[in-house]
Amino acid sequence: MRTLGLAILLAATVLAADPAAPGRTRLLLDDRVVDRAERVSLRVTPAVKHPANPLFAEDRPWEVRFDNVYPNIDFDAATGIYRCWYSPFIVDELTSGTVAAQRDTVTYRSTPTREMGVALATSPDGIRWQKPELGAVDFGGGRANNLVLRSIHGAGVLHDRDERDPARRYKMFAGEQVPGRKRRFAVAFSPDGVRWGDPIICPEIGVEGDTHNVAFWAPELGRYVGITRRWLAGERLVMRTESADFIRWTPATEVMRGDLINQTYALTVFPYAGAYLGFVMVMNQQTDRVQCELAWSPDTVHWRRIDSGRPLLANGSIPGAYDWGCVYAGTGPVVVGDDIRIYYGASNGPHTGWRAGFLALATVARGRFAGYVAAEREGMVTTSPFRPEGATLTLNLAASAGEVRVEVLAADGSPLPAYAGSNAAVVRGDGLDQAVTWPAQPDLSALRNTPVRLRFHLRNATLFAFTVR
């Protein structure tokens, strides 16, 4: 049984910040932080792809077709080892039986005999990956492979570091599909992420798990939350379920949908800066391609898509490039210095066509998933009231050719003379922690724990977040 109330590393080193803790970063993409925005636009920051991409490819006999990869990344700070659980089709007769020269004349299609498995790769640095022979699963008459389970679809793997039962330290949330049989939702447990117990069927969830299924612990709810998908009248809908013990789950309910053309294919979720951020995989039914967009939620139930239609993680621009066709952001963003690593499954062809798959990597600077943008015409962002926990205010901003003026207001919106008007602070430059000082006051020490608002005046600048220490 899990220890309730403790924070969890969601297969990553990224944690939700304690809302009351000094040094809390407040993201401006969070609607609870911003009360009013004028003449500004909230824009997603495109992730930067790593020059070493693709990191690994389909190169084993049991990796017939990566499809969407569905990567789940875990970084163990104690050992310095990265691990990636991913989901290849290990049996796909059409792919294995059709050579490349024939594929222009043969239409790819799924078959009832396709079988997906779960494999494990490891890395010392998150860039160079190995596929160790684990000896855990039979394939082709032997166990010299890196498979950890067979007949599992869209596995989400959670390294639950606060679990008291060592046999359940690793948890899997997935669809179970024996070839030729209807898919059923299931969970499984492991002491080490390699040796897994038999899947436990969870029919009460009420969906098949035909996506990247994701589960995580929500400490403020005291529950595990599962994110999956269902089909309804030809449309893909994001669904949510929850559980106190990871075995008995509530019926899945809808929490997000796109439209008939741009459908929500998958949603991977992680806690960050007192909120939940989501990578939304959006499939365009006309182009048959998938891109990754951004969403946020205060509670895992109510979701807002940010800058809808603009990708956080875009497809490659050249047909045939490793990620031209589809991108599927995985679970477990990892913080490395000031960068947040986003691992993703990539493919060089469209979703329903012939394609080769890969693991790839992109990064976003700390706190810069999305920000408010103003051009030459001044824009303004006013926060909701809050109580400064410390004395020093820093901004995460990009204003190398512009500026952000910062005023402090009373909770009712009236200016505080020592921090407003001609005494407003002016911040320029590009930095993740640009310090703010006012001409009449060096910091916020006189306002500690007093309800205030901040008003930001932006010109040729993007503002992502602020922190009070």
Is the omega angle on the peptide bond into residue 54 within 30 degrees of 0, that is, cis? yes
32 Ramachandran zone, left/alpha/beta (phi>0; psi -120 to 50): alpha
Answer whether residue 5 is part of any domain. Answer: no
Domain membership flag for residue 28 = no
- Joined together, the tokens standing for residue 40 give 């500004």
171 shares its domain with 227: yes
- 98 residue type, one letter: T
Residue 105, exposed/middle/buried by CB under 10 A (0-12, 13-18, 19+)?
A: exposed
CA–CA separation, 464 and 44 (whole Å): 10
Q: Domain end: 365, 387, 415, which one?
A: 365
The number of C-alpha atoms within 13 Å of 272 and in the hemisphere containing its C-beta is 28
Distance CA 248, CA 253 (A): 15
Q: Name the β-bridge partners of 272.
A: 275
pLDDT recorded at residue 5: 33
- Residue 81: count other Cβ atoms within 10 Å of its Cβ: 14
Same domain membership, residue 304 and residue 164: yes
Q: Determine, yes or no, domain membership for 172.
A: yes
Parent domain of 444:
375-468
| Cα 10 from chain centre | 10
* Dihedrals phi, psi of 359, to nearest 5 degrees: -95, 135
Provide the b/e sequence for 359-378 (b: ≥16 CB within 10 Å). bbbbbbbbbbbbbbbbeeeb
Q: What is the distance between the alpha carbons of residues 204 and 251, in angstroms, rounded to a whole number?
A: 6
Domain co-membership, 425 together with 330: no
Look at residues 264, 302, 304 and name the one whose alpha carbon lies nearest to residue 281: 264
Q: Is residue 181 part of a domain?
A: yes
Quick one: 403 and 353 in the same domain?
no
Do 387 and 342 share a domain, yes or no? no
What's the domain count of the chain?
A: 2
Distances (CA, A) of 450 to 172, 222, 377, 406, 467: 45, 31, 32, 17, 16
- Cα 49 from Cα 399, distance rounded (Å): 23
DSSP structure string for 299-319: SSSS-EEESTTS-SBPPPSST
Nearest 10 degrees: CA dihedral of 447, 452, 453, 455? -40
| 61 Cβ contact partners less than 8 Å away, ≥ 6 residues apart | 139, 140
Say whether both 235 and 379 belong to one domain. no
Instruction: Specify whether 387 is located in the same domain as 351.
Output: no
Starting at the edge strand found earlier in the chain, the sheet holding 200-201 runs 152-159, 170-176, 184-190, 200-201
**Residue 329, pLDDT score:** 98
Residue 249 gets which letter from DSSP? B
Domain annotation covers residue 19: no
pLDDT score of 20: 41
- Residue 402 is predicted with a pLDDT of 97
Q: Looking at 365, 396, 416, which one is the last position of a domain?
A: 365
Q: Is residue 286 assigned to a domain?
A: yes
The pLDDT, as a whole number, for residue 131 is 98
Query: Degrees (nearest 5) of the Cα angle 139, 141, 146?
Result: 35
Please check whether residue 130 lies inside any domain of the structure: yes
pLDDT at 10: 33
Looking at the structure, do residues 348 and 415 belong to the same domain, yes or no?
A: no
Q: What is the pLDDT of residue 22?
A: 53
Assess whether 229 and 356 both reside in one domain.
yes
Q: What is the CATH number of the domain that holds 71?
A: 2.115.10.20
- End-of-domain residue from the set 344, 365, 386: 365
Residues 357 and 441 in one domain: no
Q: CA distances (Å), 343 to each of 86, 346, 363, 454, in order? A: 11, 10, 9, 35
b (16+ CB within 10 A) / e for 341-357: bbbbbbbbbbbeebbbb
Strand-pair partners of 398: 430, 462
What CATH number did the domain enclosing 422 receive? Answer: 2.60.290
Is residue 158 located within the same domain as residue 83? Answer: yes
Three-state DSSP at 388 gives coil
Per-residue pLDDT of the chain (469 residues; tens, 9 = 90+): 664 332 323 333 333 333 444 578 999 999 999 999 999 999 999 999 999 999 999 999 999 999 999 999 999 999 999 999 999 999 999 999 999 899 989 999 988 889 999 999 999 999 999 999 999 999 999 999 999 999 999 999 999 999 999 999 999 999 998 887 888 999 999 999 999 999 999 999 999 999 999 999 999 999 999 999 999 999 999 999 999 999 999 999 999 999 999 999 999 999 999 999 999 999 999 999 999 999 999 999 999 999 999 999 999 999 999 999 999 999 989 999 999 999 999 999 999 999 999 999 999 999 999 999 999 899 999 999 999 999 999 999 999 999 999 999 999 999 999 999 999 999 999 999 999 999 999 999 999 999 999 999 999 999 999 999 9
Measure the CA–CA gap between 137 and 145, rounded to whole angstroms.
8
Residue 34 is assigned to a structural domain of this protein: no
Contacts for 436 with CB less than 8 Å, ≥ 6 apart: 393, 394, 395, 406, 425, 427
Same domain, 152 and 207: yes
